[in-house]
Structure formats: C-alpha cells, structure tokens
Chains A and B, each alone.
Chain A
C-alpha cells in the first residue's frame, strides 16, 4: 500500500438486466440510500426497483416553454404595436393580427423548451463530469457495452465494508470490488 486512498464504495457486477433489477429491489429493501445501478441501456422498471419516482424534468421544461412563448409575444407585439408599425397590404395592426404571429410563438416555444430540456438534463445528471470514482474500477468500462453494475457508496449510513460486501455477494453480485476515490 503506497498511499492511503479514500474508499468511494463497493461495486458488484451482475450478469443480466433481470438479475440487476432483482438485486436493486433487495438493496432498496435493505434500506440503502446512496447507491446506484449502471447499465448499457435504461432498464424498464428499474426506477421502481430503486424506489425512485418519476423524473420531474418536465417541470422546468414547462417553465422554459412558457418563457419562450412570452418572449415571442413580446418580440412580435412590441415592435408591431409600438416601436415600428409596419403597414403591409393596408392591414392594420391590432389584436386581429395576432394569428399571423402564431408560427413565431410556436417556434420560440419549442426552441426554448428544447434548450431547457438539455440544460436541465445536464444539471440534474451532473454532466459534464469527466472524473468519477467508478471509472477507477477496471471492469466498469463494460458498462457501455454489456456490463450491469451496482455500486453502494461508502457515505451511505448503512455502509459497512464487510457486511455490504457479504450482502452484495449474497444477492448474486460477482467481482465485488472496493472502489477508491
């Protein structure tokens, strides 16, 4: 042991999506809170197995979309009704002209919603984050190929290096490894 390295947690590998799901249910029932599963693709039913609710990403997107709509309304009406009244075809500018702005309302609503989706996704997933302790585990590079992993963090109050290791092995985890920070 050359130097002391902080323990991040314990990782275990599972052989399929189905066994990972069963393991997640058991870890959830054991009362752990700081843990996660990693898979090459989203596994259906995993949110429930981990005790997670529906993602609330849509709420900020609604706000973003509303901001886009408001921006479009202001962008079209302020110049058209106030700053620069451009009379084309002799058609006056009053409320009856609003339908002609609908394409712009729609496009800006979509544009702002899409940007909000991406930025909120980045914030909620804490991305970009180029360093993460799990990358120190050699086997973990299989996660984007065909590996299924379950990692329990050391900062979980129920974490114990020996007991958690035994639990992970008991529920079918293979290659149970201590991950360092």
Chain B
C-alpha cells in the first residue's frame, strides 16, 4: 500500500490479540503441557507441604469434633449457626466465579475466558468440596447425615420438601455434579494432548484412559460443541440458582436481618464478586511462578476480571445500603434494631457524638463495608486494574470482606435477636478456627495437585480463538513477528481476534 494513502487514512483501532506475541499452536501446547511434564519444581513442594499440613490439621480438627460432638465449637443455644455456616456460604460463593467464567462468559461469547476457565472451574470444584464439609459436620452426628437425602429416614419420616435446607441439598449436590461433568468434558481434548505427548508408557496409559480415545475428528467435535453449549446453557441458570437457594436458608426464616427479599440477587452478586477475587488470588501467583504463561493470561485478562470485581462489588454495596433503607422504611423495630444497632451502630460515638451502640459486632460490619464496598472502588482507575500488586492486595481485601459479610449476616442476627434475655455472645473455639484454616489447606493442596497433573489452561480453546484457527483467515495480513508492545498497549498490526468469527 502506498505511504500517502496510509497517511491520509486513520489507523483502524484493533482489539488487542487474545494470545500475545502471536504464538503458534505448537507453542501453546508446549508451554501448557510443560507445566505437567517437567519434573516437580522445588517451590511446588515448598508450597504443597505446608498446605497439606494445614489440610491434615483441619481433618484432625474435624475428627476431634466428630468424636466429641459440636460442643467443641463456640456455638451456643442462641448462636446455633456461626463459623460453620459462614464458612459454608463463603466457600460455596467462591465456586460461582468458575461457573460464571466457564458458562455465562461462554454464552456471551467472551473469548478471553478461554485461558482462565480451566483453572477457575477447578477452583469451583475444590471450593465446593470445602463448602460441603461444613454442613456435613455441622449436623453433629455425621453418621446420620443421610437423613438429608430425600428418602424416609430410620423412623419412616420423610424430609420436609418445603424446607430450604433440603433445597440446599439438591442445589449444592447438583451444582457439584454438573460442575464436575462440565470440567471433565472440557478436559478430554486436552488430556488427549497430554496422551499424545507422553514419553513414558505409564503416562500414556493413564492419560490415555482419561482421554477416552479422543481423536479430534470433526464428527466428534460437532456433537462435542453442542454438548458444551448445552452444559453452558444448563450451568448458567444453575449457578444463579445455587446461591439463591443458599440465601433462602436465611431469607425464608423470620429472623430480622435474614428475612429479606433482596437476598437472592445480593447473594449471587456477592458470590461472583468473592469468586473472582479468589480466582485472581490464586491465578496471579500461578502466573508469577510460570512466566511462560504471560502471553496467554495477559494484563487484559486481569483488567477484565478487575472490572467484574468493581461491578459486582458495587452491586453488593447497593444491596447493603438498600437493606438499611428498607429497615428504616419498614419501621419494624426488630429489623431496625438489627440493622441500625447490631450492624451499623454509631460510628461517630468515638468523637463524642450520640449514644453508644448496643451492637456487639459493629466492627465486623465495618470490616465488611470497607473491604467489599470501598476497596474495589480503586478499580475505576485503569492503571490500578492492570497493576498486579494492587489487584492482588484488593483481592485479599475482598476475600476477607466476603467472609465477614456472611459472619455479619449470621452472627449479628442470631446473637442479638428479639428478646434481650436470650442474647448471647459468640466467639469461635480454637478447633473451629483451625477447621476453617484447614479448609484453605485442602483447597490449596487440591489446586496444587491439579496444577501438577492436569493442563491448567484449556489448550484447544485457546488455539481456537487464535486468528489462524479461523477457516477464512488470510495469511495475507501477516501478524507481526517482533515482540509485542504490551497487550493493552498501542494498536498492533495483528488481526483482531475477539468477537470475530
């Protein structure tokens, strides 16, 4: 093309490529499979052993609790749900980001999801495993946990099908099962890659079994793509339903602070919010440890996830304020007490203004507000969204804040309910604290094992969003071969990838 024309025509602003530096298909398989194929790095053991130890401590605490009864926890007759259910809701919420990335972003054709969906889905499964522990052991006599099943129990009594606790059994078990199926379906073509690359007979045999004999034929892809679309379509309402049902555990009760119609959407937004924070909490260090993935998980991905955190965090903030407004507007004195005394209190009291608050856990409310509503607001600024250190710190705040949100909801409402004579303080026992810390050990150990044995990035999907994967790709406009100018950086002569078929 003549220079004169180029000067007169304004440059077309192209989207940043999803895979930076125009890597070849083979490069993608090499770099992703290398993580699994290389000898176990020393740092892996240095992280895994402490995590496994924590997991073991958690399991010992659970064993101690099962053998001695729930009395080893700090719960009492007034505060019957505390850390156990807080932790359950915390972990189940974290799972939601994985399903959102894999299902909802798939349906909305957000192609950037391809390099993070595998790890996020794995995180979903491990978070749901951690979540499932708590309601299981919280029943006290775990050998009677089968009473939760929709069958008549030992006394011939059927469960109450109108109880949200039973709905929860259905919702969480369906969610876990469908997530496993979805995850494994996505893994099959990538396990086949590991099978075909395997050097030792043993590896070839084991990966071969799980690859099911996948051979990438188009007669298979045709059904595969339809199955993936259907699973995404099924998972989308499912993920919205799970946290809605969890919120029904509270919302269908008559306790002030729980009896709120805003709960389902507010819980779902909070779950996605907390889930994305956890995705980034584990992806950023993983990316640091595997710098070769920089071209796949780019600053653009972190930027987009930070935007989702900002959006959902702001929705959650709106829900917090709307709860307060409805408490004020509804003039139910018990609800007014819960929100205005037990939760908000009088923040100006230390300046000598107004009366002291009657709430015991006001500090927890302010922890929640600061971490969940104020801290993500820094993501309005682009340079913060693309700064890994800032993003990581904010995500840690969000993790803490989302745990406090559940603590505030559960404990403030229970500890100070209708009749002051039945009020009771709550503080966790050491066993309770270590059980919770132990679930982090379980979660991280499982994730580290996943990193060692399965491809952390969905190779075939990443390949499919590259411009050359398009059957109508013209090698005419050759992509640049030089180093990329930064992924979010200046427009490149690389062809647009996103939103292009």
Contact = CB atoms under 8 A, between A and B. Distances in A.
Contacts of A174: none
Task: From A110, A134, A135, A141, name the one whose CB has the most chain B CB atoms within 10 angstroms.
Answer: A110
B224 A121 contact: yes
Contacts of B48: none
A75 interface: yes
Nearest to A48: B471
B157 interface: yes
Nearest to B166: A104
Interface stretch (B36-44, B237-245, B268-276, B291-299): B237-245
A103 B245 contact: yes
A117 B233 CA distance: 11
Per DSSP, chain B at the interface is: helix
Main secondary structure of the interface of A (DSSP, over half): helix
A97 B160 CA distance: 12
Contacts of A86: 157-158, 160
The contact size tier of chain A is 35 or more
A44 B471 contact: yes
A144 B471 contact: no
A124 B226 CA distance: 12
B178 A114 contact: yes
B323 interface: no
Nearest to B189: A144
Interface residues of B, number: 70
Contacts of B238: 107, 110
A2 interface: no
Interface string A83-116: 1101010010000010011011011101101110
Interface string B453-490: 00000011101100011111101000000000000000
A91 B153 CA distance: 22
Nearest to B195: A144
Contacts of B219: 36, 50, 52, 125
Contacts, number: 213
A168 to B, nearest CB: 16
Given A47-B222, A83-B158, A86-B160, A114 B181 contact: yes
Interface in B220-256: 220-227, 230-231, 234, 237-238, 241, 245, 248
A42 B218 contact: yes
B29 interface: yes
A55 B208 CA distance: 26
A116 to B, nearest CB: 9
A144 B178 contact: no
A26 to B, nearest CB: 14
B170 A103 contact: yes
A12 interface: no
A118 to B, nearest CB: 5
A101 B25 contact: no
Given A17-B473, A121-B224, A146-B25, A111 B174 contact: yes
Contacts of A108: 170, 174
A38 interface: yes
B171 interface: yes
B177 interface: yes
Given A36-B217, A128-B212, A55 B471 contact: no
Contacts of B177: 111, 114-115
A26 B215 CA distance: 22
Contacts of A49: 471
A40 B460 contact: yes
Interface string B271-307: 0000000000000000000000000000000000000
Nearest to B157: A84
Given A131-B213, A145-B197, A46 B218 contact: yes
Contact of A44 (B25, B161, B460, B501): B501
Contacts of B245: 103
A8 to B, nearest CB: 13
B377 interface: no
Contacts of B156: 84
Given A118-B181, A143-B196, A145-B193, A58 B230 contact: yes
A86 to B, nearest CB: 5
A35 to B, nearest CB: 10
B216 interface: yes
B231 A117 contact: yes
A161 B32 CA distance: 39
B185 A118 contact: yes
A66 to B, nearest CB: 14
A127 B158 contact: no
Contacts of B470: 17-18, 44
A127 B196 contact: no
Nearest to B217: A36
Contacts of B193: 40, 144-145
A63 B434 CA distance: 47
8 contacts: A41-B189, A41-B460, A44-B470, A47-B222, A80-B158, A101-B162, A125-B223, A143-B216
Given A41-B189, A128-B213, 8 more contacts: A18-B471, A37-B218, A40-B29, A103-B248, A107-B171, A107-B238, A141-B197, A146-B463
- 10 smallest CB-CB distances across A and B, nearest first, come from A146-B25, A41-B464, A55-B226, A128-B212, A42-B221, A21-B471, A144-B193, A103-B167, A100-B162, A84-B158
